[in-house]
Chains A and B, each alone.
Chain A
Amino acid sequence: MMISFRALVRKDILLFLVDRRALLMSFAVPIAIGSFFGYVLGGSGNQADASKIAILAVDQDHSAISAEIVKRLSAEKALDVKPSTPLEARVAVRKGSATVAVIIPKNFGQEAGDAFFGPRQKPEIGVLFDPSHSAERAMVTGILAGDVMQAVSKEMFTGQSGRDMVKNSLAQVEQSQGLAPEDKKPLEDLLRSVDRWDRQRDQGGDGGSRGLSMPYTTHEEAVTAHENAQYNGYAHAFAGMVVQFVLFLGIDVGIGLLQQRQRGLWKRFRAAPLSRGVLLGSRAVSASILAFVVVLVNFLFARLIFGVRVDGSMLGFLGVSAAFALMTAGFGMLVAAIGKTPEATRGLAIFAVLIVVMLGGAWIPMFLFPQWLQKLTLVMPTRWAMDGLEAMTWRGLGLEAALAPMAVLLLFAVAFGGLAVARFHWEAEG
């Protein structure tokens, strides 16, 4: 019995190794797509070459304030700022070649200064944005708010136009008949203090320009496996692609069985004195071995080329990989049990895999899903595979974090396998 079991397993592995398409789909394609997505998702932690948000800055004011705003925007690491005209900026955003355009209108500096100290009409900064990039729009307006506040306050408190404005404002307040005495006095004191501070700075030779600044700084730290470990975008991308293409391998397992039935091979196997357990079990074992090896080889490539490390438990990583491989084998058996013909089954199975892969977070990170969908995806084996692989790689969690994904994947493996055995068409059609 063992001779036939071993021979059947060996046959499946041999067939896989001589099948160029299978090799391509299991190794070359996931590696290529994983590499691309990994790069797009931030690469191996070095953010220097990460993609910046393309911004067009239109300065119609040409004041010290507007120039300062553009200068500050240009200094932001996340932004790629280029000067433009209103018309060009609109066309560029519409075409998608720029994500956001910031238009600083004429007299912005003057009007912003006026509005800074008094109840004047506030000038508008135009923000044109690509509606498909609303997240980037929110980010740019946030940065812009800080830069405008700092540029205007700097000019108001230390720049020449600010000084002129303080003097003018003081004169206006002094001459004002409409202000209540209890308001007028403090405002005059404030403006005189600012004027006096300006003159003292001139005499003291402290020419450094100041103004309001953000009352805090941030210390940013990516929380990863350990202190020196950096987030590696390739870890997520490879996990996603491995999950997807290993499931495609599962489809091939099922389709292979259907093809064997179609080509009369199943009759030859069934004519031999072999139990159903040997016939299906050998297929499940060979599929599990192949799936496990595909996971390992893909991650080995990611380790060698992109530095993706198993920063968590190696045992947990192997456990999750093995459980996922078993689940894949069960899935393949189910495909064979439910399918009628290879041709009809392949299309449906691919559709099903793409759905579960998408909902499992293999393409785009789970946090982008709505909350309700994130909860719903807990019924997807792919979600558990992704969580398990990510936990053991860049998140660097311990074996305990792998136990739940392993258990769920094994549960799916048993369910799929059981259903496959129950539904399998044992009898060869006459």
Chain B
Amino acid sequence: MEKAILQVDSLKKSYGTLVAVNGVSLSAGAGEIVGLLGPNGAGKTTTVSMIAGLLRPDSGSVQIEGRPLASDTDPIKRRIGLVPQDLALFDELTAQANLQLFAALYDLDGAAAQRAMDAALDLVGLADRAQERVKNYSGGMKRRLNLAAALLHDPQILLLDEPTVGVDPQSRNAIFDNLEVLKSRGKTLVYTTHYMEEAERLCDRVIIIDHGQVVANDTLQGLYRLLPVTNLLAVELDNGQDAIQLNELQALAGVRSAKLEAGTLRVGVQDLATETPRVLQWLVERGHLYRNVASERADLETVFLTLTGRSLRDA
């Protein structure tokens, strides 16, 4: 990997007795999207807040392009763009007025500010709605403007804290497209989410975080390798077919796991092509009839379940 643009080491943050972040480390390079995946309350936002300089860590360090963030007015902050989880916009003002203000926070005004606003609005597809008040925008448009507001000063690092919360799939895809464009321009993106599908679609690397601690930090392929099985065979049995000897099934060569749940038998196999006929034959020989057979690929949900013992959605 190239030299890290963002380097985070052993960040810790506590609120009283609650340890919100406990030793989080990560690094991200140019043109890379790093996902912070975890359930609500896992410590993702606190981590992002410390990276952005909003929170002072109890211990640990954040380095931006090799330099630590020193103070509120440190110019290195110009290298960071923050997209907060909330829609951090003034609803009563127009999109243009909002962006003018946020550009001015980075000392941009006049023609420079206008160019930055045009570019940002163009990227998120809101150029023709710039003069409208934000309160008239749809949820998806607000999300896109929320993103645009963080791009005005052309930051190298973009911190995106659950930037698609509450938007429709179409707007979500539009935002994903915007982020991929930014990635292609060499920007470094840190993307927090509790949606595994988003992490799978966007991220080059995923850091799974739970109870303030990193439980895994790897590429998608690397994370899948952590699983005992990568494929599941889902067999929907006929009614009353629940007296299956799971121990016997698990003893079959190539079968790693077997679980019967609500009439569906899930069999973990290493190689789908060779093990599927063997499992089905085993069922037929014992008189277990089935209605449907499907294969399921292991996903980040499975990874999270395997690593934490809890479902990502239920955590």
Same assembly: yes
Q: Chain A interface (Cβ within 8 Å of chain B)?
A: 1, 3-4, 6-8, 10-11, 14-15, 18-19, 262-265, 267-276, 427-428, 430
Q: Which residues of A contact B78 (CB under 8 A)?
A: 273
Instruction: Indicate which residue in A4, A265, A267, A430 contacts B104 across the interface (CB closer than 8 Å).
Output: A4
Structural contact, B100 and A7, CB atoms closer than 8 A: yes
Structural contact, A430 and B55, CB atoms closer than 8 A: yes
| Other A-B pairs, 7, CB within 8 Å; known A4-B105, A11-B93, A267-B82 | A264-B84, A264-B86, A264-B87, A268-B84, A271-B54, A273-B73, A276-B72
Q: Which residues of B contact A265 (CB under 8 A)?
A: 86, 88-90
Contact with A along B67-101 (1 / 0, CB 8 A): 00000111101101110111111101100010011
Instruction: Indicate which residue in A7, A15, A264, A275 contacts B72 across the interface (CB closer than 8 Å).
Output: A275
Structural contact, B46 and A430, CB atoms closer than 8 A: yes
Q: How far is B90's CA from A19's CA once the two chains are assembled, in angstroms?
A: 12
Instruction: Indicate which residue in B56, B85, B88, B109 contacts A427 across the interface (CB closer than 8 Å).
Output: B56
Number of A-B contacts (CB under 8 A): 102
Determine how close the nearest CB of chain A comes to the CB of B55; give it in whole angstroms: 5
Instruction: Indicate which residue in B49, B73, B75, B100 contacts A267 across the interface (CB closer than 8 Å).
Output: B49
Q: Chain B interface (Cβ within 8 Å of chain A)?
A: 13, 15, 20-21, 43, 45-47, 49, 52-56, 72-75, 77-78, 80-82, 84-90, 92-93, 97, 100-102, 104-109, 149-150
Known contacts A15-B92, A268-B149: A430-B45 contact under CB 8 Å: yes
Known contacts A267-B49, A430-B13: A273-B77 contact under CB 8 Å: yes
Known contacts A4-B104, A263-B86: A19-B92 contact under CB 8 Å: yes
Structural contact, B92 and A18, CB atoms closer than 8 A: yes
Instruction: Indicate which residue in A1, A269, A275 contacts B107 across the interface (CB closer than 8 Å).
Output: A1
Q: How far is B49's CA from A224's CA once the two chains are assembled, in angstroms?
A: 61
Structural contact, A4 and B72, CB atoms closer than 8 A: no
Determine how close the nearest CB of chain A comes to the CB of B33; give it in whole angstroms: 20
Structural contact, A11 and B105, CB atoms closer than 8 A: no
Structural contact, B82 and A268, CB atoms closer than 8 A: yes
Query: Which of A3, A6, A14, A430 has most chain B Cβ within 10 Å?
Result: A430
Structural contact, A428 and B55, CB atoms closer than 8 A: yes
Query: Which of B80, B84, B150 has most chain A Cβ within 10 Å?
Result: B84
Q: Which residues of B contact A4 (CB under 8 A)?
A: 104-107
Structural contact, B55 and A427, CB atoms closer than 8 A: yes
Known contacts A273-B78, A274-B105: A263-B88 contact under CB 8 Å: yes
Structural contact, A271 and B82, CB atoms closer than 8 A: yes
Name the residue of chain A whose CB is nearest to the CB of B20: A430
Q: How far is B15's CA from A54's CA once the two chains are assembled, in angstroms?
A: 67
Structural contact, A271 and B104, CB atoms closer than 8 A: no
Structural contact, B101 and A11, CB atoms closer than 8 A: yes
Instruction: Indicate which residue in B45, B53, B56, B97 contacts A14 across the interface (CB closer than 8 Å).
Output: B97
Structural contact, B108 and A273, CB atoms closer than 8 A: no
Q: How far is B84's CA from A71's CA once the two chains are assembled, in angstroms?
A: 80
Of all A-B residue pairs in the complex, the 6 with the closest CB atoms, nearest first, are: A430-B46, A264-B86, A7-B104, A264-B84, A264-B88, A272-B105
Determine how close the nearest CB of chain B comes to the CB of A98; give it in whole angstroms: 53
Determine how close the nearest CB of chain B comes to the CB of A285; give it in whole angstroms: 15
Some 8 contacts from A to B, beta carbons below 8 A apart, are A4-B105, A8-B104, A265-B86, A267-B88, A268-B82, A272-B106, A275-B72, A430-B21
Structural contact, B107 and A270, CB atoms closer than 8 A: no
Determine how close the nearest CB of chain A comes to the CB of B179; give it in whole angstroms: 18
Structural contact, A271 and B87, CB atoms closer than 8 A: no
Structural contact, A14 and B93, CB atoms closer than 8 A: yes
Q: How far is B86's CA from A262's CA once the two chains are assembled, in angstroms?
A: 8
Q: How far is B15's CA from A1's CA once the two chains are assembled, in angstroms?
A: 33
Determine how close the nearest CB of chain A comes to the CB of B191; give it in whole angstroms: 16
Q: Which residues of B contact A273 (CB under 8 A)?
A: 72-75, 77-78, 106
Determine how close the nearest CB of chain B comes to the CB of A430; give it in whole angstroms: 3
Q: How far is B88's CA from A409's CA once the two chains are assembled, in angstroms?
A: 35
Q: How far is B72's CA from A272's CA once the two chains are assembled, in angstroms?
A: 8
Q: Which residues of B contact A268 (CB under 8 A)?
A: 82, 84, 88, 102, 105, 149-150
Name the residue of chain A whose CB is nearest to the CB of B109: A3
Q: How far is B94's CA from A167's CA once the two chains are assembled, in angstroms?
A: 97
Q: Which residues of A contact B46 (CB under 8 A)?
A: 430
Structural contact, A427 and B84, CB atoms closer than 8 A: no
Name the residue of chain B whose CB is nearest to the CB of A7: B104
Structural contact, A272 and B97, CB atoms closer than 8 A: no
Determine how close the nearest CB of chain A comes to the CB of B254; give it in whole angstroms: 46
Known contacts A267-B52, A427-B54, A430-B45: A274-B73 contact under CB 8 Å: yes
